[in-house]
Structure 1
Amino acid sequence: MKQLKQTFTHDTWVMPYLRKYKFLLLLVLFLGFMTFFSGGALMFNSGYLISEAARQPSSIVYIYVPVVLARAFGIARPVFRYVERLTSHNWVLRIVSDFRKKLYQTVERKASAIQRSHQTGDILSILADDIDHIENLYLRTVFPMVIGWLLYLFVVIGIGSLNWGVALLLLLLLGIIVIIMPLTSVATNGVREFKQHQIQHEFYTNLTDEVLGLGDWLISGRYDDFMALQKKPIKSIAKLRRKDHFYQWWRSFFVQVIVLLTVLVLLIWSGLSLTDTKAEADWIAAFALAIFPAVSPFLNMSQGLSEWPVYRRSIERVNQLDKNQPHLAPQKNLKEQFKSLKVDQLTFRYPDGPKNVVNKLSMTIKPGEKIALLGPSGTGKSTLLKLIVGDLKPVSGQVTIDDVPVSALQQDRAAWFGILDQQPYLFDTTVMNNVRLGNINASDEAVKAAIEAVGLKPLIESLPDQYQTHVQEAGKRFSGGERQRLSLARILLQDAPIIILDEPTVSLDPITERYLLDQVFDLLKNKTIIWVTHHLAGISHVDQVRFLENGQFDMQGDPQTLYRTEPRFRQLYDLDRGK
């Protein structure tokens, strides 16, 4: 109960939709109860009808009403079942539709932050499993549990109206099925289900990582090792499922034993209480047979609750996506150039890190200014970029654009920042569609103009399908430099005032690197640029150079002044030029 309360205390995914569709939920529960009530009533009526007919009544009138009721309950049960299935799946599909819409909006709103805080396999696990688990929470746990409890109370109260002693005995016997068995299932089989989910989640994560490096596996001749890694979790899951099936068989057998004891109790009670006359004896079979239709919902209660640990984990995972959502401030008019980007006493440390990666950094960047951030690997350059664009939340200090915290501008972040990094992703669609991602409302002419500006027009128009050429998965149809230029065309189309360059030329050869840098700074000459780099090729394009080391700026100034006054800068610059 404590875990249940903790799970739903701050839940924003399950409880709001239960309240939103509460009337439809009540209808589903009513139809589910009536399905099994009709089944029980049919068996009750049939038991009486068979007994009454066996006495060979003198007139058909004595069994006419039970015959009509048998037909009525026989028709009612499948009708209620069919309508209940339609209603419950309609209810669940409405909720799942809302779930998926909310999930995609959350991922869209926090795409970069989610990418930094979740592995690709985590996101695949959420998309592939967690939403389905929450869907099954209703179909396999909530509905069977509530319907089972309603039937339990109905049987106990119904018998209690005739004999409270027997009712108390049924309360204990059926209580084993509806209370003790579900709790036992959570403690045993539920742990197994949770372990299976963990293995499957790790499998998604590892498989994604290994598939992305599949080329290296093949080159190294370790195909068999690759396949062995995939088979290991599959075998573990298969083993857990065999144990689960074995447990379910014994649980089902035990439930059947309890039902048998319940039937014996009803037979003994009715045999002692309803044998004063032949007419009363007709009810003995009725009471004994009525309990059998309840076996199915009672079994479903244990199975549904045993899966609760998996559902709880899924609920917690999707709720994690809603945490730390920034308050969105009113967006300023982006037609006007911003006046300044300020980094004020910025400090950041990773949760598992021993020290501050960024330590009380401050700087002000003016419109149109070009800044280069240099420093050894691991000094916090990329971390600083993530803080500037809002992917990470600082421990203290803040980043502001015209005195508005960048965390409050995330809704329109694409209107503020254009980002060109080491490995820009091209989707398996046309050249036109890939470039248009920078501005989905851009015309074909505007897209072609951006492609022409980055110097790719001759290449694209020489291809058979020209601008409708598919770039293939991850853009492998083109070279590294061509992929970077297509991404640069996106940024031109995006037309954001601040451009982030996160080592965009690190994987290119020197000639292509020099050409691309010249092109970038020429095409973006009116933009504000923050450029992270390891070396000084193209450094003459920037206005300010800042060396980051131990979380602070160690050297800063314009390139010409630093070359004259800083031996370290002069040495690095000459090394990059081959002197």
Structure 2
Amino acid sequence: MHNIPLFKVLAKDTWVKPFFKHYKKTMIAALLLGFMMFFCAGALMFTSGFLISRSASIPENILLVYVPIVLTRAFGIGRPVFRYIERLVSHNWVLKMTSQLRLKLYTTLEKEAVFFKKRYSLGDILGLLAEDINHIQNLYLRTIFPTIIAWILYIFLVIGLGVFSIPFACLMAFMLFGIIFVLPLWSVVVNGARQEKEKQLKNELYSELTDNVIGVSDWIFSQRGQEYVNWHAQVEKKLQDTQANLRKFNRRRDFLLQLIIGLMVVALLFWTSQQFIGDHGGAANWIAAFVLSVFPLADAFSGLPDAAQETNIYKDSIKRLNDLPVFSEAPPKKVQEGPFDIEIQHLVFQYEENSRKVLDDVSLMVPQGEKLAILGRSGSGKSTLASLIRGDLTPTNGNVQLAGIATEQIGDNISEYIGVIQQVPYLFHTTILNNLRIGNEQADVAQVWEVLERVGLKQLAESLPDGLNTMVDEAGLRFSGGERHRIALARILLKDTPIVLLDEPTVGLDPITEQALIDTFFEQLKEKTIIWITHHLQGIEKMQRVVFIEDGQLEMSGSPLELANNNSRYQKLKAIDEGKI
């Protein structure tokens, strides 16, 4: 990978290239504006040099310098104007592109979220979101745009000089070719390898330092602390030597670049003195014009070696982005009408290929209005089943359907049909009213007070200093666990979804609060389908059916009364839960 040139990496790119066509007009405008900026800079110095020299020779008529005066003003104004517009257009193009890249990346991370925790560390994810996108942004602003503009200028200058003298144009083309092609290529070949070595040494240091800081006590107790210090010093020295070689090369290359520019100036001095020797007013008028124009144009070429050298950093970012899976989502489907039955057919799910099956050939029918409890130990697959019902995951085999439509195809519209109350409902740092209206943004204040009364929080809300406009602390820490669950229930009631999924909402509550909360849940949700994920049997008698999942399969199913009378395993679980065993 390290020896693959950037253009080959871009050739296989599916992240960045699509935006070329989408924003091609803006990109072309940015390139032309960049060319005009350097053209005006060079033309300003050209006309200024001619004007100064011509004026110093005391022209017989002021009209002889009138045109250079006007052009000097025009190019003097044009240079900053084109520079400003070019910055606006180029940054606008890049920011549009990177905003779409970030959106694409967020979508990928969201769809792949379950797997990212296993495949990537937090630092990897932050690197993708921030560092790699910024690298691609710099790739265009600091490498691709300046390089294309420099090549356009190169062609323009060679053609322009060719009008006066083809041999001299070829000489200048040769010198400029060394700046815009040979030096950048040399930088990539020589310093690119050093940059790779620098990156490897830094990664090695970071990795070892992290591991050994965490295990520092082991080093101390084994009396090997000095051994690690010596190793670290050796790697640090290698890194410093590599960085010193990088700086040394850059100094030599920059000296060579300035030497070529100096030779170009000398060549121009000689050529103009010969080319315009018979010109009325003296060759000095043109000598100053041509020589002075070199310096602003040199700025367009002098940054190319550094820009080319940085491509070694950018190509890794492009490679990492292209290694991510890309999801081409079909438009979400909308459930047209009820009944809102949930049908699970021969469901198989595994998080990664060749890993163990979390769910294995599970079939289940949940008609609208049924109260179903799903029991199981931690890791048995019940939470995964809940995620599949919500459409957050796609089955490996089989299907999960809501009203005849696969739940993963419903997309974000699933919230119209399934409400969720989790173990720790999250409250946002805004007013109580806004927190409740997350369930239904169109709900009026009267509806909010009504659901608060239904969940038993009306008195609490009325007692607060600002009522519904009372600010909630971050994560809702001012409320108890039971109160946060009641607020979550109020959101569900405002949303009025036909199905409610309770994902172990009573975990961590004391028995009295737990029973009161269960009573409120089932009283307020009695007309709705309830799917209760739990490993705790308190309140289980309120359910119409209980299923037990173990090792990814349904082990038992029946009403609480049937299981209590006929199933020895359920009887044992009930006894353990009640503390009788």
Assess same fold via TM > 0.5. yes
Structure 1 residues 56 and 467: CA distance shift in structure 2, 3 A: closer
- Which secondary structure does the structure 2 equivalent of 1:409 belong to? helix
After superposition, where does 1:206-355 map in structure 2 within 5 Å? 250=251, 255-270=257-272, 275=277, 279-280=282-283, 282-304=285-307, 323-328=326-331, 330-334=333-337, 336-338=338-340, 340-351=341-352, 354-355=355-356
Asked whether 1:78 is paired with 2:67, we answer: no
Contact 2:457 2:486 in 1 (8 A): yes
Contact 1:256 1:295 in 2 (8 A): no
After superposition, where does 1:367-378 map in structure 2 within 5 Å? 367-378=368-379
Identify the residue that residue 559 of structure 2 maps to in structure 1.
558
Give per-residue Cα distances to partners, 1:224-258, cap 9 Å, x unaligned: xxxxxxxxxxx9xxx9xx99995897465554343
Aligned-residue offset at 1:40: 0.9
Identify the residue that residue 228 of structure 2 maps to in structure 1.
none
Contact 1:49 1:66 in 2 (8 A): yes
Asked whether 1:384 is paired with 2:385, we answer: yes
Identify the residue that residue 218 of structure 1 maps to in structure 2.
none
Aligned-residue offset at 1:371: 2.0
Aligned-residue offset at 1:415: 0.6
| TM-score scaled by length of structure 2 | 0.78
Structure 1 residues 542 and 110: CA distance shift in structure 2, 3 A: farther
Contact 1:328 1:407 in 2 (8 A): no
Contact 2:9 2:318 in 1 (8 A): no
Contact 2:6 2:312 in 1 (8 A): no
Give per-residue Cα distances to partners, 1:475-518, cap 9 Å, x unaligned: 11111111111111111212222222221111222222222122
Identify the residue that residue 399 of structure 1 maps to in structure 2.
400
Contact 2:335 2:405 in 1 (8 A): no
Identify the residue that residue 145 of structure 1 maps to in structure 2.
147
Query: Which region of structure 1 is more displaced relative to structure 2, 298-307 or 401-410?
Result: 298-307
Asked whether 1:468 is paired with 2:469, we answer: yes
Identity across aligned pairs (percent)? 43
Structure 1 residues 372 and 121: CA distance shift in structure 2, 3 A: farther
Distance 1:163 1:347 in 2: 77
Contact 1:193 1:309 in 2 (8 A): no
Unaligned runs of 5+ in 2: 208-235
Identify the residue that residue 533 of structure 2 maps to in structure 1.
532
Contact 1:430 1:468 in 2 (8 A): yes
Aligned-residue offset at 1:426: 0.8
Structure 1 residues 518 and 474: CA distance shift in structure 2, 3 A: same
Distance 1:426 1:121 in 2: 27
Structure 1 residues 36 and 441: CA distance shift in structure 2, 3 A: same
Distance 2:246 2:439 in 1: 52
Structure 1 residues 542 and 259: CA distance shift in structure 2, 3 A: farther
Contact 1:189 1:306 in 2 (8 A): no
Asked whether 1:441 is paired with 2:442, we answer: yes
Amino acid in the other structure paired with 1:507: G
Structure 1 residues 363 and 460: CA distance shift in structure 2, 3 A: same
Distance 1:144 1:65 in 2: 31
Identify the residue that residue 232 of structure 2 maps to in structure 1.
none
Distance 1:55 1:498 in 2: 93
Contact 1:337 1:497 in 2 (8 A): no
Structure 1 residues 545 and 258: CA distance shift in structure 2, 3 A: farther
Distance 2:323 2:157 in 1: 42
| TM-score scaled by length of structure 1 | 0.79
Aligned-residue offset at 1:123: 7.2
Identify the residue that residue 481 of structure 1 maps to in structure 2.
482
Distance 2:78 2:6 in 1: 39
Aligned-residue offset at 1:176: 3.9
- Which secondary structure does the structure 2 equivalent of 1:291 belong to? helix
Give per-residue Cα distances to partners, 1:134-168, cap 9 Å, x unaligned: 55555444432322221122123323444444444
Distance 2:443 2:320 in 1: 37
Identify the residue that residue 516 of structure 1 maps to in structure 2.
517
- Which secondary structure does the structure 2 equivalent of 1:507 belong to? coil
Structure 1 residues 268 and 387: CA distance shift in structure 2, 3 A: farther
Structure 1 residues 114 and 67: CA distance shift in structure 2, 3 A: same
Give per-residue Cα distances to partners, 1:313-332, cap 9 Å, x unaligned: 76677889993243235413
Give the CA RMSD over aligned residues: 4.1
Identify the residue that residue 28 of structure 2 maps to in structure 1.
26
How many pairs were matched up? 535
Structure 1 residues 523 and 577: CA distance shift in structure 2, 3 A: same
Unaligned runs of 5+ in 1: 203-234
Distance 2:432 2:347 in 1: 40
Give per-residue Cα distances to partners, 1:81-137, cap 9 Å, x unaligned: 23434444555566677777x56xx96x88964654557877776766666665555
- Which secondary structure does the structure 1 equivalent of 2:573 belong to? helix
Asked whether 1:410 is paired with 2:415, we answer: no
Identify the residue that residue 211 of structure 1 maps to in structure 2.
none
Distance 1:304 1:475 in 2: 50
Amino acid in the other structure paired with 2:289: A
Structure 1 residues 460 and 305: CA distance shift in structure 2, 3 A: farther
Aligned-residue offset at 1:37: 0.5
Query: Which region of structure 1 is more displaced relative to structure 2, 29-38 or 130-139?
Result: 130-139
Structure 1 residues 165 and 321: CA distance shift in structure 2, 3 A: same
Amino acid in the other structure paired with 1:469: T
Distance 1:358 1:77 in 2: 67
